[in-house]
Amino acid sequence: MHRDSDRYRLFSRRSIILGGSQAVLFAALAGRMYYLQVVESERYTTLAEENRVSLKLLAPPRGRIVDRFGRPMAVNRQNYRAMLIPEKAVDVARALDTFSKVVPLSEAETERILREVGRKRRFLPVLVRENLTWDEVARIEVNAPELGGVSIDVGESRHYPDGIYTAPVLGYVSAVSEKEMTGDPLLELPGFRIGKEGLERVHDEVLRGRSGTSQIEVNALGREIRELERREVQPGAEAWLTVDLELQKYTARRLGEQAAAAVVMDAHTGDVLTLASTPTFDPNSFSRGLTPEEWRTLIGDPRSPLNNKAIAGQYAPGSTFKMAVALAALETGAVTPDSRVFCPGHMELGDATFHCWKPEGHGFMNMVDGIVQSCDVYFYEIARRTGIDRIAAMARRLGLGAKSGIDLPGEKSGLIPSRAWKKEVKGESWQTGETLLAGIGQGLFLITPLQLAVMTARLVNGGKAVRPRLTKELIPVDARESAVPDLPAFDSLDIHPSHLDLVTNAMAGVINSRRGTAFRARIKQAGRRMGGKTGTVQVRRISKAERETGVLKNEELPWEERDHALFVGYAPVDNPRYVVSVIVEHGGGGASVAAPIARDILREVQERDPSRGRPRAWLPEDGVSGPAEREG
Amino acid sequence: MALSSSHDPELTLGRKIRQIPWVFVLLVTMTASVGFVMLYSAAGGNLEPWTSRQMPRFGVGLAVMLVVAVTDIRLWLRYAYVFYGLSLALLIAVEFVGAVGMGAQRWIDLGFVSVQPSEIAKVTLILALARYFYASRVEDVGRLTHLFVPALLIAAPVILVLGQPDFGTAVLLLFTGVVLLFLAGVRAWLFAFAGLAAVAAIYPVWQFVLLDYQKARVLTYLRPENDPLGAGYHILQSKIALGSGGLFGKGFLQGSQSHLNFLPEKQTDFIFTVLAEEFGMAGGFGLLGLYLLLLIYGFAVSLRCRNHFGRLVAMGITSAFFLNIFVNVAMVMGLLPVVGIPLPLISYGGTAMLMLLFSFGLLMCVFVHRDIALGPGAASGD
């Protein structure tokens, strides 16, 4: 028993050591538990909540854009899309490979998808293909077991029913580029589009609306268990434009395939009824995503379809500038309406000879004759008497040479030079010859078609500083008040009414008197007669030799050397309401090319009379309820 | 001292039954009931598929425990090596006819029930080592040559289990064996030496033995945070569950981590997490408290026992029980690498439950026979 008691003592001692160390380890467990469940509890609670709840962003439907009568110009269409969640697909390249066996993917598409997968967070879905047909949707659903990570959802895509006619006004939406990512998760939604040009860009944030969120309880596989909380989306506001869609379409069609622009405005309100630039592009293809080939065609076209010529095309005003010169001369007292100038067909200044468009000369001209017959010598002379700085000041008052402030991006300011400007920019002093040229709107002068329309409006509305606008109202879907303030009262330009009357009457004579340069383009219908002014701008120098042998006709010249054809007009002559400006690049003569176009547009706008009554021949379409009532 | 049982009071079956520590039986039942509740929760508030199957198993196990408690302890002494040999045979058999579960061969399907031989080996190893040291004289134990046989006894099941491969169970077997060597009186410096040797072996083994993928696995064991979507994922999710449980938990059946399947193997390895998420630290401490009472009982039995075989068996069983609890709980709390050890009495699993209750039966058997002196010849069986 002695040996056993030895053994027992050893055993007991070691049992106690063992028990002690086990107690220490047990205490360690308890301590760890305390640390995790009490000390760090808050952190882990947050993590558990993040685990459990997945926040899903709900995209708001983009606000519609409608014309002044509520006719839809930009709408949303249902769009079946195949999405891929990289995290779930595991091997993205293989998943796409399988997908393209079901619905073929081009190499460019695959590249884009892989690029997007690379730059987005792995649990965010990436757009594989949109605008799927029913047949494609069915094929994808049938093959769903092999297409891990691919799912179908219904999104909305922007659609422009009359895209090729409305593109200069609306612009387009397209995919968010990397630079445009602001960190707003909405922008990271697959297939999300933002406005890139035109009103889509200007009103992007308002049209976009506010995203909703849906908090979804998910399990470890990301499968949705139930919705915990939902914040509804706030759809984008609806934009009501000043544009008359039918007139816009008519005008764009009338301009045809030429490189041209036309602006129609209400002279009193500044409502832009039409803003056309041709040729243009199909904004639907931008929304969809251009193929490289389409892109090359667009940028390779010498008629520059991507350039909105109505606001960003800059041209010398030519003879359409003569009203500004005349007003400057009258207002400063340099001439009286009856001051007479003799036109022998040219004018000498030093060594230089300045030619009239009519080589045989017009004879004695007063101001009305000068405008009606567009006598160049008459304007050389009164420009010389008035001086460049006064002419420039009047041009600016009429809205030339500065941005009009229209609600479109990319507007160009044009250029109205002055002595100080030339000194500063070119470092040279002004030459009298340049003043002479300014009299006929040639030289360094640059204006945009929109500025010409604004100028004409200011001439015929009694000298008010009307400003153009395209947006009438932005109406939030759930509110009734408008987001654009009422039309401001326009300041007076302080031009003597009799001077304005004289000039506008002369413009009426341009069209309606037999000697007028655009007599052939007149409107004969009583009460709808128009007034206007032609302009023809040389884009090349005519050499002395050529002048002697006979100036080449436009038809004999290559397209890019032909003259620009310009016209500004208004109607009706007795109570002017609508103004129009037309520019046809390399179109030829203002009287022969631009004037007939302007006449047709003015005839159409008076027929429709969008500023007053409701449109004829237009009935509410399905889903568009009585927007015409808003007009009342 | 040839046959010592003659002068010990002979125990009748009735006396044995009266000796059964019913408080211990009650504690075991309470702990197992916690398990039933947690399995019910892990199934999303369903008896199926786990609770309904675990309860009858526990019933069978309880019966086995009580029967074992009243068997003659000399039976286990006498046939300790036989049982050990049988369990080794099963471990070898599992290599050939075993079913693969969780990527390792661990099961033998007997048709009506599948058996996990490694769980059986945990108990038979204790018996065999206790049998060996019971017969050794205290001065022999200090000798190095005397350690050859017990080293072999430990190594055989450890290597077989390692080959399944079941790293966790192999480590548990090894530690159980080492604990018994320690209790038997093997010189303390030997443990220190073995520890140092193990540390020293790390470098050459790492450099020359382990293949790249094995190294990668070891590294993830050591630093699970580096692989948050792989091996580290489960342990992170488990920590989140524990931490978000807080002091008093989210409430029964309200554990979002468990019910939304963020926890892996929640009915087996991670059941403690389910408990601690739903009942918080209070619930976790409650279960650890129950375990503590069971362990204290084991210690008391061992120290109270007057024969060396009984002491070693009781302490071996208690220590193995402790190791099981510790490795599992430390694992789900991110203190140890994830090795796949179930939580005793709580986790879903037949063989483990049965063998644990069987070992508790042995513990009670030791208690019942605490005053019986077993001479060195008691094992010979005459």
Q: Which of B243, B247, B311 sits opposite A11 (nearest CB)?
A: B311
The larger pLDDT score, comparing residue B2 to residue B174, is at: B174
CB contact under 8 A, B243 and A22: no
DSSP letter assigned to residue A350: T
Judge residue B144's burial from the number of C-beta atoms within 10 Å of its C-beta, 0-12 exposed, 13-18 middle, 19 or more buried: exposed
- Of B338, B332, B329, give the one whose Cα is nearest residue B224: B338
pLDDT tier at A628, thresholds 50, 70, 90: very low
Q: Which of A11, A37, A221 sits opposite B261 (nearest CB)?
A: A221
Give pLDDT, residue B321.
96
Question: Residue A219's closest chain B neighbor by CA?
Answer: B260
Helix (H) or strand (E) holding A88: helix A86-89
- CA of A12, closest CA in chain B: separation in Å? 7
Give pLDDT, residue A629.
36
- On whether the CB atoms of residues B76 and B314 are closer than 8 A, the answer is no
| Class of domain A55-241 (CATH, top level) | alpha beta
**pLDDT of B97 strictly over 80:** no
- Of A157, A169, A164, give the one whose Cα is nearest residue A66: A169
In chain A, which residues have their Cβ closer than 8 Å to the Cβ of B302?
15
* Chain A CB within 8 Å of residue B308 CB: yes
Give pLDDT, residue A630.
35
CB contact under 8 A, B244 and A32: no
Return the amino acid letter for A419.
R
- CA of A217, closest CA in chain B: separation in Å? 9
* Chain A CB within 8 Å of residue B240 CB: yes
Give pLDDT, residue B195.
87
Give pLDDT, residue A625.
38
The larger pLDDT score, comparing residue B216 to residue A483, is at: B216
Question: Residue A47's closest chain B neighbor by CA?
Answer: B240
* Chain A CB within 8 Å of residue B192 CB: no
CB contact under 8 A, A217 and B280: no
**pLDDT of A189 strictly over 80:** no
* Chain A CB within 8 Å of residue B330 CB: yes
Give pLDDT, residue B2.
41
Dihedral of alpha carbons B156, B160, B162, B163, sign: positive
CB contact under 8 A, A36 and B243: yes
Return the amino acid letter for A180.
E
- How many CA atoms lie within 13 Å of A388's alpha carbon, on the beta-carbon side? 22
* Chain A CB within 8 Å of residue B41 CB: no
CB contact under 8 A, A220 and B281: no
Give pLDDT, residue A1.
47
Largest CA distance in chain A: 153
- Of A157, A94, A148, give the one whose Cα is nearest residue A130: A157
CB contact under 8 A, B262 and A220: yes
- On whether the CB atoms of residues B375 and B4 are closer than 8 A, the answer is yes
The larger pLDDT score, comparing residue B7 to residue A286, is at: A286
Helix (H, G, I), strand (E, B) or coil at A37: helix
Q: Which residues neighbour A94 within 8 Å (Cβ) at sequence distance 6 or greater? A: none
DSSP letter assigned to residue A574: S
Return the amino acid letter for B251.
G
Give pLDDT, residue B142.
76
Give pLDDT, residue A627.
38
CB contact under 8 A, A6 and B138: yes
**pLDDT of A300 strictly over 50:** yes
CB contact under 8 A, B138 and A41: no
Chain A / chain B CB contacts < 8 angstroms:
125
**pLDDT of A151 strictly over 60:** yes
In chain B, which residues have their Cβ closer than 8 Å to the Cβ of A49?
244
| A569 Rama class: left (phi>0) / alpha (psi -120 to 50) / beta | beta
Give pLDDT, residue A249.
95
How far, in Å, CA of A568 to CA of A583, rounded? 9
Tokens describing residue B173: 């077997």
Return the amino acid letter for A153.
D
pLDDT tier at B204, thresholds 50, 70, 90: confident
Question: Residue B4's closest chain A neighbor by CA?
Answer: A1
CB contact under 8 A, A7 and B185: yes
> Pairing mode, if any, of strands A341-343 and A531-537?
unpaired
* Chain A CB within 8 Å of residue B284 CB: yes
Contacts by residues B294-298 (CB-CB < 8 Å, ≥ 24 positions apart): B294/B24, B294/B27, B294/B28, B294/B31, B294/B321, B295/A22, B295/B321, B295/B322, B297/B21, B297/B24, B297/B27, B297/B363, B298/B363
Buried b (16+ CB within 10 A) or exposed e, A93-111: eebbebbbebbebeeebbe
List residues of A whose CB lies inside 8 A of any B CB. 3-4, 6-8, 10-12, 14-15, 18-19, 22, 25-26, 28-30, 32-34, 36-38, 40-41, 43-45, 47-49, 51-52, 217-221, 225
Tokens describing residue B215: 């190294």
In chain A, which residues have their Cβ closer than 8 Å to the Cβ of B294?
none
One-character DSSP codes across B150-166: HHHHHHHHHHHHHTTT-
End-to-end CA distance of chain A: 119
Q: Alpha helices of A350-479 — where are they, by DSSP H?
A: 367-372, 376-386, 388-397, 419-425, 432-439, 449-460
Give pLDDT, residue A176.
84
Tens digits of residue pLDDT in A49-79: 777 777 777 888 899 999 999 899 999 988 8
Tens digits of residue pLDDT in A524-562: 998 899 999 999 998 877 777 777 777 777 778 888 888
CA dihedral A235, A236, A242, A246 (to 10 degrees): -60
In chain A, which residues have their Cβ closer than 8 Å to the Cβ of B241?
44, 48
- On whether the CB atoms of residues B244 and A48 are closer than 8 A, the answer is yes
Give pLDDT, residue A505.
94
- On whether the CB atoms of residues A265 and A271 are closer than 8 A, the answer is yes
Active site residues of A: 319
Q: Give me the residues paired with residue A272 across strands.
A: A265
How far, in Å, CA of B139 to CA of B146, rounded? 10
- CA of B356, closest CA in chain A: separation in Å? 19
Tokens describing residue A508: 């009426």
Tens digits of residue pLDDT in B19-67: 899 999 999 999 999 999 999 998 888 888 899 999 999 999 999 999 9
Please check whether the domain covering A245-292+305-480+489-608 is classified as CATH 1.25.40.10. no
Dihedral of alpha carbons A189, A195, A200, A206, sign: positive
Tens digits of residue pLDDT in B108-157: 766 566 788 888 999 999 999 999 998 887 778 878 888 899 999 999 99
In chain A, which residues have their Cβ closer than 8 Å to the Cβ of B137?
3
pLDDT tier at A40, thresholds 50, 70, 90: confident
Helix (H, G, I), strand (E, B) or coil at A355: strand
The larger pLDDT score, comparing residue B347 to residue A177, is at: B347
In chain A, which residues have their Cβ closer than 8 Å to the Cβ of B260?
51-52, 217-220, 225
Give pLDDT, residue A623.
39
Tens digits of residue pLDDT in B329-347: 998 888 887 777 899 999 9
pLDDT tier at B382, thresholds 50, 70, 90: very low
ipTM of the complex: 0.89
Give residue B198's Cα distance to chain centre. Answer: 23
* Chain A CB within 8 Å of residue B266 CB: no
Q: Could you count the other beta carbons within 10 Å of the beta carbon of residue B251?
A: 12
Question: Residue B234's closest chain A neighbor by CA?
Answer: A220
- CA of A2, closest CA in chain B: separation in Å? 11
CB contact under 8 A, A29 and B240: no
How does the average pLDDT of chain B come out, rounded?
84
Best of B233, B240, B258 to substitute, by most chain A Cβ atoms within 10 angstroms, is B240
Give pLDDT, residue A3.
62
Best of B258, B260, B305 to substitute, by most chain A Cβ atoms within 10 angstroms, is B260
- CA of A57, closest CA in chain B: separation in Å? 22
Tokens 């659609």: give the residue: A159
pLDDT tier at A200, thresholds 50, 70, 90: very high
How does the average pLDDT of chain A come out, rounded?
86
- CA of A71, closest CA in chain B: separation in Å? 50
| Range A190-219 average pLDDT | 85
Best of A10, A12, A34, A36 to substitute, by most chain B Cβ atoms within 10 angstroms, is A36
- CA of A42, closest CA in chain B: separation in Å? 7
pLDDT tier at A622, thresholds 50, 70, 90: very low
**pLDDT of A272 strictly over 80:** yes
- CA of A178, closest CA in chain B: separation in Å? 28
Best of B1, B141, B244 to substitute, by most chain A Cβ atoms within 10 angstroms, is B244
- CA of B82, closest CA in chain A: separation in Å? 26
Tens digits of residue pLDDT in A387-432: 999 999 999 999 999 999 999 999 999 999 999 999 999 889 999 9
- On whether the CB atoms of residues B263 and A221 are closer than 8 A, the answer is no
Return the amino acid letter for A128.
V
CB contact under 8 A, A15 and B299: yes
pLDDT tier at B4, thresholds 50, 70, 90: very low
Spans of all domains in chain A: 55-241, 245-292+305-480+489-608
The larger pLDDT score, comparing residue A25 to residue B163, is at: A25
Chain A neighbours among B 76-115 (CB < 8 Å)?
none
